[in-house]
Amino acid sequence: MSFVTLSYVLCLFAMHTFFASYYMSVITVPESLIGQEEWLIGLIVGIMGITGMLTRPIVGVLLDIQFPKKFFLIAGSLGVAISFLGYSLNDDLMVMALLRLLQGASTAMFTTTLSVVVSGYVPNEKRGIGLGIFQSSSALSQVYAALLAVWIVTQFSISFGFTISAIFSLLAGFFSLWLKLDRQPIQSQEFNFRQAHWVSSHGFIPFLIFTSQTLTFGSIIAFLPSICLERDLGNPGLFYTIYALTMLVVRSLSGYLSDIFGRKKVIIPALISSTFALMIIAFADSQILLLFSAVLYGIGFASVQVVGFAILVDTTPQKFHGSALATYTNAWDVGGLLGGVVIGIMIAFFNFTVAFAFCALLPIVSLFMLKKLRTE
């Protein structure tokens, strides 16, 4: 594969280590909040989406005018590391909320910028497989990160788990330092505040479709430990491991299949798979059912994420990749915030079953958006 250059490989390592830090936190952050009210857990877990939503459009527009990409990559990795070190040193809820806001802004900087960088390394005819492999590098971290976090919390402490997450984030910044990027002058004379693409028209429909996945994933992150505890479904880390193994295979495969058969023919069954998975979670009463849902959910999430990414790059002029990908990746922040807060409120008023049955409807709604989605 001709696109596998040193810089592309460094992007894989940076993506992998950055998300290793994140996927450890899907265990450590909720674990540190066990005993709090469900709505408060959802708020603390999801609040990082607020600064993420505000940061991504700014980063995207600045990338479009050639602002130095390495600045955002290094600042993002450092900000996330500082957040995790803060969690390890202080358990005050107000301080934790402020650190989550810092983590949200820093994550937005790093992931938006790295997505723009890697999209420039992959040729048109190999876009699906190239972006699929890139996304699989983060899925590989999911295979072990959640279980590693459970082991560290059990054998050592939550604070030590946060410290390891900080180290992973710093490694992502280290790999980013060596990326080969063209140096171009900042095009400040072309910037018009009112006409800037704060919300990209190219990225909006893919954003809505991807949000149907990230919102439900935000719910799973916030409440899966509580569901497992209430229903005696075993170690929640196993769900993330099975889900990650599925993602590892499906991200590259779905990208490759979309290169051959077309993007929409891959997204449609993926959305249906996500719906089935969420319905199973809503009613699961055994660990086997929960782990089966992890497979279906992994198929759905992986395919929608990769193919949506490919469609976006297919249909967006390169000079607007920053703002378009900022809009698309904002799905992580919107989904993380709403998944924690809105679903937390639904759980408080109803129960886990009703809340996750509602989540199962969202991918179905996304099917109707496909008619408006351009694929060429």
Q: Is the whole-model pTM more than 0.85?
A: no
Between 303 and 26, the more confident residue is 303
Asked whether the beta carbons of 91 and 29 are under 8 A apart, the reply is: no
pLDDT of residue 1: 56
pLDDT of residue 305: 87
Least confident range of 146-155, 168-177, 229-238, 329-338: 329-338
Q: What confidence tens digit (pLDDT) does each residue in 143-154 have? A: 788 888 888 988
Sorted by where each starts, the structural domains of the chain and their CATH numbers stand as 6-180+197-372 (1.20.1250.20)
pLDDT of residue 17: 96
pLDDT of residue 105: 92
Mean confidence (pLDDT) of the chain: 84
pLDDT of residue 190: 59
Which residues does 161 contact at the CB level (< 8 Å), separation at least 6? 24, 27, 28, 149, 152, 153
82: confidence class by pLDDT, cuts 50, 70, 90: very high
Least confident range of 11-20, 105-114, 194-203: 194-203
Least confident range of 36-50, 283-297, 355-369: 36-50
Q: What confidence tens digit (pLDDT) does each residue in 128-147 have? A: 888 888 888 887 887 788 88
**Amino acid letter at 337?**
L
Task: In whole angstroms, give the CA distance from residue 213 to residue 183.
Answer: 36
Task: In whole angstroms, give the CA distance from residue 350 to residue 275.
Answer: 20
pLDDT of residue 166: 94
Q: Give just the sign of the alpha carbon dihedral 100, 105, 109, 112.
A: positive
Cα distances (angstroms) measured from residue 2 to each of 10, 119, 278, 333: 15, 14, 38, 33
Nearest to 142 by CA among 268, 45, 33, 251: 251
Only one residue has tokens 């992150």, namely: 221
Q: For every residue of 285-349, which 3-state class applies, written as one string?
A: CCHHHHHHHHHHHHHHHHHHHHHHHHHHHHHCCHHHHHHHHHHHHHHHHHHHHHHHHHHHHHHHH
Least confident range of 17-26, 66-75, 166-175, 341-350: 341-350
List, as one string, the DSSP characters of 56-115. HHHHHHHHHTT--HHHHHHHHHHHHHHHHHHHHH---HHHHHHHHHHHHHHHHHHHHHHH
pLDDT of residue 30: 75
pLDDT of residue 229: 84
Q: What confidence tens digit (pLDDT) does each residue in 306-356 have? A: 888 888 888 777 777 778 878 888 887 787 777 777 888 888 888 888 888
Residue 110 tokens, joined? 């790093």
Task: In whole angstroms, give the CA distance from residue 97 to residue 161.
Answer: 18
pLDDT of residue 285: 84
pLDDT of residue 187: 57
Nearest to 56 by CA among 106, 9, 130, 122: 106
Asked whether the beta carbons of 48 and 333 are under 8 A apart, the reply is: yes
Only one residue has tokens 């072990």, namely: 144
